[in-house]
Structure 1
Amino acid sequence: MASNLKKLSCLPFFFLIFFFFVTISSAELCNPNDKKVLLKIKKAFNNPYILTSWDPQTDCCHWYCVKCNRTTHRIISLTIFADDRLTGQIPPEVGDLPFLQTLMLHKLPNLTGPIQPTIAKLRNLVFLDLSWNGLSGEIPDSLSTLKNLFILTLSFNKLTGEIPSSLSELPNLGGLRLDRNQLTGQIPESFGYFSGEQAPDLILSHNQLSGKIPSSLSRLNSTSIDLSRNKLEGDASMFFGANKMIQILDLSRNLLEFNLSEVVFPQSLTSLDLNHNKVYGGLPPVMTELKLQYLNVSYNRLCGPIPVGGDMQSFDLYSYFHNKCLCGAPLGDCK
């Protein structure tokens, strides 16, 4: 009897503890201003299925596509991707999430219209990915104000106009992808003067860029450069050099014309694609010392024997054919 009374006397305390934990677990952590902004974004996107969890009666720190800071509980990441049922344009409210570090709107084919200028208000942004959408218009010059930006990806859209020269003012930029758009004009001369300690990887392929590559890009020391499938002319030898860090260089399908015999190949080079240009000269023997994993110099004006050794004979004839008078394995014998 005494033991039963003792158990009963513990019940109020147990219920008190239970009530305390229920109250804590049900407390709203998400900042109310952030929550209002997210709900406006959902409405602007026509309440797509992917945002079903964005219920105003629940804590927005637990919503799908959203991440909160564990200490401040402010929204730091918004990543919406792979949903063809999301429609509309990027709403101006995206600029009202002041602590946002990551903004990814990716593979949303029915996301149209321009890049929202208010994105420039997101001064804490580190990662901006607006790729594989239906965005159009010009790249806003105001993106150069995002001084913390490390990755800028705008590829696979319908963007037009020239590349803003001000993008070189991004001091922390490690990667710039503007490929698969309809960009025109020349590569900005300022891209030889990126303000950061390390030049970003530069992917500008599959556009309509034209003219000569600025000589200032000889200062560019990126690990990956892809300018393929444009209308670029003239000399591109500035990307080579003994002190360069370049690993992947793709200049294919342009109108480039320079003497490959005279360039100095960096030892870091692992992939080189020059196909469909007007490159002349020959393949220097020093290429046998490179650790090449990919090589394509087809459809140029090269002459002379293919150097024997290294990885040069590991590539098939399609890497070398359709040149002026290139010869030797894997092509036919030199006469």
Structure 2
Amino acid sequence: MMTTFSNFFLTFVLLSQATFSLSKRCHPEDERILLQIKKELNNPTLLSSWKPHTDCCNSNWDGVACSALINGRVGYLSISNDTKLTAQFPPSIGNISYLESLFIYDLPKLTGTIPESLTKLTKLQYLTIRATGVTGPVPKFTAQSRSLVNLDLSHNNLFGTLPPLLYKLPSLSGVLFNNNKLTGSIPPSYGYFDNSNLADLDLSYNNLSGKLPISLAKLDTYVVQLAYNKLEGDASMLFGSDKKTNVIDISGNRFNFDFGKVQLSKTLAILDVSHNKIYGNFPTGMENVPLLNVSYNRLCGEIPKVGYFNTFDVYSFIHNKCLCGSPLPSCK
């Protein structure tokens, strides 16, 4: 009788395991890769829910979700907000072949380089690696990455030059490389992004240098941020009355051009040109810009008493060659 019960129990266990295995959505290859990533990250507490023999597709694994289009394949991965996680960037992430969204952020002790294998993820649309300790160059994204919509590699320790072929990625709406250690000049190809898609170009707080390529006159995006680099010369090509620009921030550079000759977008809401060598007077339409900073330049003339000029304080205008009028001292 006992033998019969034991056989029954063993059969029940085997059938239960088989049923569970058949019910698991997570593809075994993706499960293997995720567990390898966990190992490469030194098995952090953050990933304690990643356990073998459980289903990564049923919201059991924190930060993991499977694709809505491809059954059983991991399409979403987020690892973030852990000041204690200490490891090199896990190279195995580049092996999750159906990945659509990858978010790695607020991991200050995550070091190493970003693997080039990420550029071979043909379905990747959203890539964020932000506020980490990763270093090395920006990966060279090629035509294989044509699905990429948003590329955020900000607040890291990346060095080297800007990748020149990004403009060939037709779906890009955001390129954020700010707060790194990038050097060299802005490639002329950056004037050839698809303006119907690109909304945000942020290269601020790096060590970029040289003159802006004239091709940037073709750039027509909502946000252009080049603040606090070592750029010089003319930046007037960034402006244009027919552009859709909302934000231009070129502060903290060495730009030197006649401000009075630029044409402002009718949609311009934030303009910061402070801490440069810009000269001349205010361009037509400046009174329609709600947020303005022209301090620490070489501007001249009387500050108009119209529109938004009546709302700005002294810090929007201080340290110019010969600006005068409220909120600065009166003109003589």
Please say whether Structure 1 and Structure 2 have the same fold, judged by a TM-score greater than 0.5: yes
Higher Cα Rg: structure 1 or 2?
A: 1
2:292 corresponds to 1:295: yes
What is residue 117 of structure 1 aligned with on the other side? 116
Where does 1:216-295 land on structure 2 (aligned, <5 Å)?
216-288=215-287, 290=288, 292-295=289-292
> What corresponds to 1:65 in structure 2?
63
Report if aligned partners of 2:119, 2:140 keep a CA contact under 8 Å in 1.
no
CA distance in 1, matches of 2:285, 2:151: 36
Question: Post-superposition shift, 1:24?
Answer: 7.2
Distance 2:274 2:68 in 1: 50
Distance (whole Å) between structure 1 residues aligned to residue 116 and residue 284 of structure 2: 51
Going from structure 1 to structure 2, the CA distance change for 1:70 and 1:28 (only over 3 Å counts) comes to same
Matches for 1:1-335 after TM superposition, within 5 Å: 27-61=23-57, 62-70=60-68, 72-142=71-141, 145-195=144-194, 197-288=196-287, 290=288, 292-335=289-332
Q: Distance in 1 between matches of 2:143 and 2:44?
A: 31
Shift in CA distance, 144/213, structure 1 to aligned 2, threshold 3 Å: farther
Deviation at 1:145, TM superposition (A): 3.1
Secondary structure in 1 matching 2:271: strand
3-state secondary structure, aligned to 1:29 = coil
CA displacement at 1:195 relative to structure 2: 4.3
- Inter-partner Cα distance in structure 2 for 1:210 and 1:59: 50
The residue type equivalent to 1:30 in the other structure is C
Q: C-alpha offsets along residues 104-158 of structure 1, whole Å, 9 cap, x if unaligned?
A: 1101111111111111121100000001000111112135631110100111111
- CA RMSD, aligned part only? 1.9
Cα distance in structure 2, aligned partners of 1:143 and 1:207: 23
**How many angstroms apart in 2 are the aligned matches of 1:298 and 1:91?**
45
Q: Is the 8 A contact 1:198 1:221 kept in 2?
A: no
Amino acid at match of 2:33: V
Residue identity in the other structure for 1:33: E
User: What is the rounded CA distance, in whole Å, between the counterparts of 2:143 and 2:312 in structure 1?
Assistant: 42
Moved more, 191-200 or 168-177: 191-200
Give the Å deviation of 1:165: 0.4
What percent identity do the matched residue pairs reach? 45
Structure 1: gaps of 5 or more residues: 1-18
SS of residue matched to 1:40 = helix
Conserved? CA contact 1:125–1:146, under 8 Å:
yes
1:158-199 deviation digits (Å, cap 9, x = unpaired): 111100101111110000000111100000110001146333
Shift of 1:318: 0.4
Q: CA deviation at 1:284?
A: 3.2
Deviation beyond 4 Å, 4+ runs, structure 1: 23-26
In structure 2, the gaps of 5 or more residues are 1-14
* CA shift in 2, pair 1:138/1:93, >3 Å: same
> What is the SS of the residue equivalent to 1:86?
coil
Counterpart of 1:67, as a letter, is A
Once the 2 structures are TM-superposed, how far is the Cα of residue 85 of structure 1 from its aligned partner? Answer: 2.5
Task: Determine the C-alpha separation between the residues in 2 that align with 1:242 and 1:28.
Answer: 57
Contact 2:26/2:73, CA 8 A, preserved across alignment: yes
Equivalent-residue separation in structure 2 for 1:133 and 1:236 (angstroms):
31
